Amino acid sequence: MRGFTLSVPTYGQRLLWLALLMGAIIAFDAHVEYGELPKANTVSVLGLLLPLEWADSRLVFWSRAIFLLSGTLWGLRIGVPWSSWGATFSYTLLISVYWENLPWFRHKFVLPNLIFFVLAFWYQFYRSEIRAARDWKDFFRTPLEPSWVSSLSSWSLVMFYGLSGVSKVIGGWTLLDGTSLQLWFHLMVEPGHPLREAVIHSQGLAAFLQTGAWLVELSSFLVLFWGWYRLPLAVLLSCFHLTVQWTFGIPFLTNIPLIWAILDPRRKEDRN
Amino acid sequence: METLRSDKKGEVFFVRAFAAVTLLMPLLATELYPFSAASMFAHSPKTYTVYRVSGPTGEVWDPHLLGVGLNNPHDPPLNSWGRRGYGRRLPASPAGYDVDWDETLVKARIQPFLKKHAQAYAVVEGLRYGVKDGAVTCVERRSYTVRNERFYPKR
């Protein structure tokens, strides 16, 4: 059978509102504080296209302002699909400028960006239907959400976490012997933390935690085949982020609501 | 009830292209925002070396202010498409993962600080941590003094 199944847009619209909210929260973390350091590499697609001189604090300010404005309009379904693209591109520009000026990487911005692209394309392809349903005040009862909105959102999540697991395999299997996790705990976790002493004195515990985290990331691929795995994966990834926050203080908390909205374990049908 | 289906022009192409790009770009480029393999912690150091630097009064100075701090504790440097490192480059530090001792670089980093703040000397303690018998321990230690060249000119 040709084409994609259409359903009422509760999944996509809920995900949109949540992604816009999370994006708005983390948009304020972007800056060009390290812009005085020598330029090293191009680390974004927009960095290949834009001259470096543009990547300054004014661009950060304006791209954030445009994102907040067009994101609000998008969330209210005003001026679509232009507001969708305005929000998507201004967010991409904002974070690209941030990455281009960083002497490290910040990955919490990636997942919302991929979701923005999926949802912006949805609004692009279905702009007429969305505008008509909005004008008729019947948006949430009109079947105008194609099945690929949920499947590509899940795909984006799987690529983000699954390929993170793959990158660790490429880094070498010795990663799983626990040594590096012990060193990171010793270096980065505050003395007195309840888990710190246990990990730095037990290579077995470190190997268990490190292998476990790696398996959780890699297991993301399973939801592409097994719909029932959405709930376990949402729980495992949430626990993973909470543990990373609790120990290393690396803030990925804005990904947790997105994980639950994307995987949407309450969803009955399996459309992966 | 009949299931509604859609087949808009370009939709199938977009779905396939998006899936392909988000799979292949992180695998090929590792990091090219918004494509990312989220490579944090994707390396496996066996040791790390840090420096503890104190002044004549015993006051401990921030190693990052001196330029001997350990940068990028969890992001391995990019190594793809001829790129090495990150967007911006921090000054090279003698501290890091699996690095050799570099007394020359330590002195080069600390000397400007001593001159600027008119400190006679700094006591440097290099600490190398690794895993021995299943536990993290200091596997090597080096101590030396860096004298302010203004106070103690080279002969």
- ipTM score: 0.93
Cβ contacts of B3 on chain A, cutoff 8 Å:
5-6
**CA distances to A9, A74, A184, A232, B101 from A21, in Å:** 18, 12, 32, 25, 47
Is it true that the peptide bond before B56 is cis, omega within 30 degrees of 0? no
**Contact (CB, 8 A) for A135 and B7:** no
Phi, psi of B88 (to 5 degrees): -115, 160
Interface probe, candidates A187, A220, A250, chain B, greatest B C-beta count within 10 A: A187
* CA contacts within 13 A on the Cβ side of B138: 8
Res. A234: pLDDT tops 90: yes
Q: How confident is the model at residue B148 (pLDDT cuts 50, 70, 90)?
A: confident
Q: Which residues in chain A have their CB less than 8 angstroms from residue B4's CB? A: 5-6, 143
Q: Say whether A171 and B43 touch across the interface (CB within 8 A).
A: yes
Beta-carbon separation of B34 and A2 below 8 A: no
Confidence of residue B9 (pLDDT cuts 50, 70, 90): confident
Examine the pLDDT at A177 and tell me if it is beyond 70.
yes
Q: Is the pLDDT of residue A272 over 50?
A: no
Alpha-helical runs (H) found in B35-155:
63-66, 103-116
Residue of B nearest to A118 (CA): B18
Among B15, B37, B134, beta carbon nearest to A164: B37
Domain boundaries, chain B: 9-38, 47-147
Give the mean pLDDT of A153-173: 91
- Cα–Cα separations (whole angstroms), residue A168 to A116, A133, B14, B123: 27, 46, 30, 38
CB distance A175 to B40 below 8 Å: no
Contact B22 A159 (CB under 8 A): yes
Q: In one letter, which amino acid is A155?
A: W
Q: B73 vs A121: CB contact, 8 Å cut-off?
A: no
Contact between A179 and B62 under an 8 Å Cβ cutoff? The reply is no
* Minimum distance, in Å, between the CA of residue A5 and any CA atom of chain B: 5
Nearest CA in chain B to A250: B74
Of A117, A114, A141, A129, the residue nearest A77 (C-alpha): A129
Asked if B5's CB is within 8 angstroms of A5's CB, the reply is yes
Inter-axis angle of helices A147-171 and B11-29, nearest 10? 10
| A31-90 residue pLDDT tens | 999 989 999 999 999 999 988 777 889 999 999 999 999 999 999 999 999 999 999 999
Q: B51-108, pLDDT tens digit by residue?
A: 999 999 999 999 999 999 998 778 888 988 999 999 999 999 999 999 999 999 999 9
User: Could A171 and B36 be called an inter-chain contact, meaning their C-beta atoms sit closer than 8 Å?
Assistant: no
Q: What φ, ψ does residue B90 adopt, rounded to 5°?
A: -75, 150
Matching residue, tokens 């982020």: A241
pLDDT tens-digit map of A100-144: 999 999 999 999 999 999 999 999 999 999 999 999 999 999 999
pLDDT number for residue A50: 86
First-to-last CA distance in chain A?
Answer: 16
Q: What is the mean pLDDT of residues A243-254?
A: 93
- pLDDT above 70 covers a percentage of chain A that reads 97
| Residue A271 scores a pLDDT above 60 | no
